[in-house]
Amino acid sequence: MGSVIIYRMLIIYMKKCVCVCMYVCTHTHTRTECLCCFSEMSSDLEEELNALLSGGAAPLPDQYDMMSESPRPLKLRHNVCYIVVGVLLNEQDEVLMMQEAKAECLGTWYLPAGRLERGETLVDGLCREVKEETGLTCEPITLLAVEERGAAWVRFVFLAQHTGGSLKSPASADKESIQASWWDRVSPLPLRCRDILPLIKLALEYRNQPSHPYMLPLLYPSPFLILRMLLVCLTTPGELWVLQSASSPARLPTAVCATHGGSLLNPLRSLLQDPPKSYGILGVQHQGGDGADGVCLTVMGVFNGLKPPRVRVHSLSWVLMENEELKNSIEKATLLPLYS
């Protein structure tokens, strides 16, 4: 019959799973290309989604869907670095600034910020840095954004409010700072770096019109930097699909981020041929301390199309969301900016 190519669609029914595959057959070879997989949504996944969408924490799995063969547990200031930044505004929309005492940037001004110390929570680190560098005590209101350049530099930006203390004066100068002052954002001020200007703008915009609910890190230990992915596809018939892991119990996909360079979002980008163009953070989990210097970022990304996109990890499948209450919560979710 010669080299006749026969195309046929084969639908394989399995327990709670339908896998649509295209077989390309010839008299010399056979090739199988998996297009997509669909499963039924379990109550375990619904429970996890309910917890995360309501601002709560969710347990981390014992096994991850994407990870290197032997990931190393994180140790603060050894193979991971977290920066905390506080944006404090007064009633006149002035922003709290500190004057640098370090030799390489002596006399310039910056937001109160610094590295997290071992054993601290992110909120503890924020309050300590603000007190050391400005003399003021504070209470965090919400995270404003997370910035990352891989595990070597992850910055958590907080909006916080002044609760007490007195502004640091030059008479109290030390290695942490020279002094602190409220800045009207108009008067000339030599800045250490202009990268804080978008953060100040973000804080002002949030105070005037919050873009997401108040979100603070939830205390939950992790030995690694974990990316938990809530990937959603909205299809034209009005259906909503969620990507899930094949683990038991069912849950959202998770990945251990590498510590040797590259963005924390690399697992998300390698999972799909066309990653979501828009994404953000739904929640942050961190505890700190021995064996718990990791962070879990729950990242949500949304696709639109005729069908869910192909995934490159065979243990993951798309599930149709039939719970209308959960579906509405997902569609209305607002996210914390993630700058990568």
Q: Do domains 40-72+223-339 and 82-208 have the same CATH topology?
A: yes
Torsion of CA 133, 339, 148, 54, to 10 degrees: 90
Q: What is the DSSP letter of 65?
A: S
- Architecture of 82-208 per CATH? Alpha-Beta Complex (3.90)
Rg (CA), the chain: 24
Among the listed residues 211, 198, 241, 255, the one whose alpha carbon sits nearest the alpha carbon of residue 71: 255
Alpha-carbon gap, residue 46 to 69, rounded angstroms: 30
Domain spans of the chain, in order of start: 1-37, 40-72+223-339, 82-208
Residue 38 has, within 13 A of its CA and on its CB side, a CA count of 14
User: pLDDT by residue for the chain (340 residues), tens digit each?
Assistant: 443 333 333 333 333 333 333 222 222 222 233 345 555 667 899 999 999 999 999 999 988 999 876 788 889 988 899 999 999 999 999 999 999 999 999 999 999 999 999 999 999 999 999 999 999 999 999 999 999 998 889 999 999 999 999 999 999 999 999 999 999 999 999 999 999 999 999 999 999 999 999 999 999 999 999 999 999 999 988 899 999 998 888 999 999 998 887 888 888 888 888 888 789 999 999 999 888 999 999 999 999 989 999 998 888 999 999 999 999 999 999 999 999 8
Residues 276, 262: Cα–Cα separation, whole Å:
18
Decide which of 3.30.70, 3.30.420, 2.120.10, 3.90.79 is the CATH code for 40-72+223-339: 3.90.79
Pinpoint the alpha helices (H) of 135-256.
Answer: 197-208
The pairing of strands 240-245 and 225-235 is antiparallel
Positive or negative, the Cα torsion across 218, 223, 225, 226?
negative
Nearest Cα residue to 95 out of 78, 70, 113: 113
